A and B are shown apart, each in its own frame.
Chain A
C-alpha cells in the first residue's frame, strides 16, 4: 500500500514537472476576425483588418505580409493630422508591436495591412490567403474574408 502511495506521489511530481517544463515561453500569436473591405476593380489598393492577440510571455511584432492577391503589401496606419485632416503612412519603424498579453486591433481608420496593386477582385465572399511575418513567431498563414464592414 505504502508503495502505491509512493508511486502515485512520484507520478504526480512527474506530471507537475512536465507541466512546468512545457510552460510556454516567448510570444504566442492568435489572429482573429481577419477581413477586408470589398472594393471596385478601379480601386488599385485595398486594406485588411484583424485582431492580433499575444497570449505569450514575450513581445512580438508584425513586420510584413505576403499574398498572391496583392502586388505589394505594406503595414500602414491612418491618422489624424493637425487641423483634422486624415493622413496615411507606413507604420513607424516598419512594424506593429504586439506586446505580451495584449491585443492590437487593425481597424478602419487606423492600423491596416495595405494591399497595393490588387491582383484579384475584392468581391464579398472572396477569401484571400495571406502570410503574416512576425519577428519572433515567424510566418503565420491566415485567410482573410472579403466582406462588408459590420456595425
Chain B
C-alpha cells in the first residue's frame, strides 16, 4: 500500500513536470514567422504615388503595418489569389485589421488609372488602397523594393500581359521592411505574423 502511494506521487509529479516544461517552452520560445524575415538597418524607401484621392506616400502610414503588393487589374488569376489571401488575413485579424494597410501598386500604368486600381482592390477589402504613377515612377519604386516586372506581348486577345514578382512586402510600424510573403502564403499564416507584429 505504502509502495503504491510512492508510485502515484512519482507518477503525478512527473506528469506535472512534463506539463510545466511544455508550457514554458511554448510560452517562451521565439516566434517563428511564416514569412521570410528581413533585417534591414535602413528604413523602407519612401515613395509617393497617385491614388484615387490624390498623392499617397508610404510615410503617411507610419504607425501602421503596411503590406505592399505589386500587381495589375487585368490579372485574373495570380493577383486575385493574393488579394483573396490578404482579405482572409484581414478577416482573421478582426479588430486588429485597422492597424494594417494594404497597398497595391499597379505595374501596368498604361491600362490602370488610380480610380481603376482603387475600384479593383476595394472589391476585396474596403480599406485596401490602390496606387499607380508614371511608368518611370513605378519603375523606380519597383527597383527599390526588388520587384521585377515585365510587359510581355502575347498572341491572342489580351494584347500584353505583365509578368511580376507576386510577393507581399511587410513594412512594420516604424517603417522598416520586416517580412516577405511568397506567392501562395495562406491568409491565416499572414494574419498570425501580422498579429505578432501588432502585439510586439
Contact = CB atoms under 8 A, between A and B. Distances in A.
A45 B165 contact: no
B80 interface: yes
A60 interface: no
A50 B83 CA distance: 21
B182 interface: yes
B161 to A, nearest CB: 5
B76 A115 contact: yes
Contacts of B78: 78, 86, 88, 109
Given A43-B73, A72-B156, A117-B157, A37 B80 contact: yes
Chain A CB within 10 A, most for which of B152, B156, B186: B156
A45 B163 contact: no
B128 to A, nearest CB: 12
Interface stretch (B24-32, B58-66, B116-124): B116-124
A76 B74 CA distance: 14
A84 B156 contact: no
A40 B119 contact: yes
A151 B87 CA distance: 13
Interface string B146-169: 001110101111100101111100
B123 A39 contact: yes
Contacts of B154: 89-90
Contacts of A76: 77
Contacts of B156: 72, 74, 90
B123 to A, nearest CB: 4
17 contacts: A39-B80, A43-B76, A43-B80, A44-B73, A47-B80, A74-B156, A78-B78, A85-B164, A85-B165, A86-B163, A86-B165, A86-B166, A89-B152, A90-B155, A109-B81, A109-B184, A114-B158
